Amino acid sequence: MELNLEKKEKCSILKIKGDVDLYSSPQVRKQILELVNSKNANLLIDLAEVTYMDSSGVATLVEALQLAYRNKGKLRLYNLGGAIRDVFELSKLDRVFEIYENEQRALEGI
């Protein structure tokens, strides 16, 4: 699993590559929570190259979403592949997250 971070003027963009499971999710959690743990921090997460995500990965994103919300920031997801989108739908969390088609859409209003 790889994490690539890009800092922009009004937000950070994190690209996750590979499997997010019980083994790798602690690393993802550490990085994501750092990025949303300040006032008005906006984080966009590109999931295009995520090949697998289990409930620990989803739970990490839920935790980050709640922290971002408390800090009056935004956490947005985009480029979800079919299998990853299915996990969010099965968890009924597709309605909780702001999910966008692509980076351009996700950047709108940030």
Partner 1 sequence: MIDIIEIKIPSEARFLKIIRAAVKHICETMGFIEEDVNNITLAVDEACSNIIKHAYCGPTDQPIHITCNLYDDRLEVLLRDFGKKVNIKNIKPRKLDDVRPGGLGVHLIKTVMDIVRYDNSFDQGNQLQLVKYLRK
Among 32, 58, 68, 77, which residue interacts with partner 1 (rule: CB under 8 A)? Answer: 58
Q: Pick one of 3, 17, 19, 100: the residue that binds partner 1 (CB under 8 A).
A: 19
Q: Any contact of residue 56 with partner 1 (CB under 8 A)?
A: yes
Question: Per rule CB under 8 A, is residue 23 in the interface with partner 1?
Answer: yes
CB 52 within 8 A of CB 80: no
22 makes contact with partner 1 (CB under 8 A): yes
How big is the chain, counted in residues?
110
- Residue 52 touching partner 1 (CB under 8 A): yes
Contact between 22 and 58 under an 8 Å Cβ cutoff? The reply is no
Write down the H helix ranges in the chain: 25-36, 55-70, 82-90, 103-107
Q: Is residue 87 part of the contact set for partner 1 (CB under 8 A)?
A: yes
Q: What is the 3-state secondary structure (H, E, C) of 49-74?
A: EEEEECHHHHHHHHHHHHHHHHCCCE
| Chain residues in the site for partner 1 (CB under 8 A) | 19, 21-23, 52, 54-56, 58-60, 62-63, 66, 83, 86-87, 90-93, 96
